[in-house]
Amino acid sequence: MSSINESTEAVASSPGALGERLIALIDLLHNRIRPSYHTTRLTAARMSALRIIIESDGTTGGQIAQAEQVTQATITRILDGLSENGFIVREGSRQDRRIVDVRATEAGRAAFREAVESQIERLADDLATLSAEDRAEISDALRHLERVFQSG
């Protein structure tokens, strides 16, 4: 006969319960790194779009909208904000005049780096309070989660 603790642990480790805990953790992490958005003028949405632009070394609004799973109107507003802050430039495509290419400026790259460094620093400070053993366990768990979510 299983004990109450084993039963509770089985429920707590069910895929649904783990999913619920991950969503709650995402919210906590987002709130923890939120101050970096204020110092760099990058909202979470702008930072995500800028990451795509930087990683692709230029792209189009349509490609960003598709990657972010948002409408063209939504990505246009995000790009307008990035442009107003001097973080991106829009240029007509040389191959197709109907397309507008989007590229990050040096100011955009610098703001992105600053935001990422600020976020890492905040999280590292929190993680430094854990034992080396706890950090190793978290690292192992993250490796499993990366494998699951990168394959799907």
pLDDT of residue 135: 97
CATH of 34-151, one of 1.10.10.10, 3.40.50.150, 2.40.30.110, 3.40.1170.20: 1.10.10.10
Question: Of all residues in the chain, what percent carry a pLDDT higher than 90?
Answer: 72
Average model confidence (pLDDT) for the chain? 89
Q: pLDDT, tens digit, for every residue of 85-106?
A: 999 999 987 888 888 899 999 9
* 88 bridge partner residues: 104
Q: Which two tokens stand for residue 129?
A: 């309070």
- Written as one string, the DSSP assignment of 25-44 is HHHHHHHHHTHHHHHHT--H
Q: Which two tokens stand for residue 91?
A: 């240029």
Residues 6+ apart with CB under 8 A from 65: 71, 72, 74, 75
pLDDT of residue 46: 94
pLDDT of residue 152: 60
pLDDT of residue 5: 52
The larger pLDDT score, comparing residue 11 to residue 107, is at 107
pTM: 0.80
Residues 6+ apart with CB under 8 A from 120: none
The larger pLDDT score, comparing residue 72 to residue 2, is at 72
Whole-Å CA distances, 81 to 14, 56, 57, 89, 135: 41, 19, 19, 11, 38
pLDDT of residue 78: 97
Give the least confident one: 3-17, 57-71, 100-114, 118-132: 3-17
